[in-house]
Structure 1
């Protein structure tokens, strides 16, 4: 494992109020992130086979977000199947 880390780019999902009728209430968390990963790949012409790790901040890792949503979303976005992912929570 390399001893150096590089941040290639940073991007965030849209935000909305956590209400039953909020703007994002019908969007699954993994779909939100898959769109984000796709946008990141397109705007940087990223070759996902070169990605060593996906690190994602997730404030409330429960329910649909309870698994390793970073890796799941990368797979949903069509990233290389060998890219690992992890989520962090500093809530």
Structure 2
């Protein structure tokens, strides 16, 4: 739920990156992404979706998307994406 994600984000200012599904109830991933970046412009966001990577990432070109994970994915793919984000933050 995008609205719930935003409430959690707002109440936890130490959150530096978010893994966000593109398809969610109440507020989709694209809307949630925009709001996250409005609240904290340097927050790193990885989008996870079953949709085609090119189709999804094209929507976010120039908007600060940190990464994309194609569903279904292995835990090692998630781990690598998170480690990349953490390394960029250092």
TM-score tier, shorter chain, comes to 0.3 to 0.5
Q: Give the structure with the higher percent helix.
A: 2
Higher RCO structure, 1 or 2 (CA under 8 Å, sep 6+): 1
Q: Give the structure with the higher percent strand.
A: 2
Question: Could you state the TM-score of these two structures normalised by the residue count of structure 2?
Answer: 0.36
**Greater Rg over alpha carbons, structure:** 1
